[in-house]
Amino acid sequence: MDIKYKITRVQDAQQKDKSVGFLRPYEKEDHISVEEPLEMSLKFKRGDKWNVENISITMRTPGNDEDLISGFLFNERIIENINEVEKVETKGEIVGDYNLQNKIEATINNTKNLDIGKIKRNFITNSSCGVCGKTSLDSIEVLKTKKIDLSFPKIDYNIILKSPEFLRSNQSEFSKTGGIHASALIDNNGKVIAVREDVGRHNALDKLIGHVLKKKIIKQENQFIACSGRLNFELVQKALMSNIGLMAGVGAPTSLAIDLAKRFDMTLIGFVKSDSFNIYCNKSRILIKN
């Protein structure tokens, strides 16, 4: 979702005409990515009583909000299975300049391991930057015990080289605004299975995983995730929750992201360009012709 703003663009006229040696400002309209808060609530039953609890507020790009809350609940292991989300409803008054409802409520059908107190402590001030919204290091522990099978996926190096272009060509908003992140699920033939966009890297990945799990189109044996930005700890953690064996990004990974990928046998790739990329761990999944 984007909106047009009037801006003043300053361009070095000499770049186009060497005889001109000054900056030439001009007025134009520019597409800007919309950022709005989303209040996420959880509805669940205790005994005979229905309860509704606010669990997080995140800044997001409006659109695919159902995928966002579903992916968030799964990736943070508030639910163990995507089918535990019984329904998702948009709530609240229509507000703001964009006539949006900025509240969403997910009803879940399994409360066996639900700890609302812990959830609220961890995510009460959560934002799209991920870990910074959590309140303690304890809350970013990985809720995963098994490593990923190193035998799959097997991805040809050419598919990795082309992944940034696959992302760009399937982004509806980036070409207009330049101010939005994306995550894509891509198969070993270079087919883009799904793409989701958001101003927050973590929201884009939550939306993607929420969507592909609900549609049952994720196949870990021949698919990988490509991201438009740098790769940090929480992005790797979210991908691991769905047993994704390979993750690639156009930016740099952090040290903690690499350590986490190594720990669970994920292949982590960064600085992906049209002619090069860096493999930080578990290179056996990349098919390279000598």
Question: What is the structure's pLDDT at 125?
Answer: 41
Question: What is the structure's pLDDT at 27?
Answer: 82
Would you place residue 57 in the very low, low, confident or very high pLDDT band (cuts 50, 70, 90)? confident
Q: How many whole angstroms separate alpha carbon 42 and alpha carbon 47?
A: 16
Query: Interhelix angle for 201-215 vs 65-75, to 10°?
Result: 90
Q: pTM to 2 decimals?
A: 0.82
Q: Which of the residue ranges 55-64, 116-125, 223-232, 240-249 would you say has the lowest mean pLDDT?
A: 116-125
pLDDT, tens digit, for every residue of 76-108? 888 999 999 999 999 988 887 778 889 999 999
Would you place residue 29 in the very low, low, confident or very high pLDDT band (cuts 50, 70, 90)? confident
According to DSSP, the β-strands at 181-187 and 192-198 are: antiparallel
CB 203 within 8 A of CB 60: yes
Q: What DSSP line would sit under 152-177, residue for residue?
A: ---EEHHHHHHHHHHHHHT-SSHHHH
Q: Please give the domain boundaries of the chain with CATH numbers for all domains.
A: 36-140 (no CATH), 155-287 (3.40.140.10)
* Residues labelled as active-site residues: 129
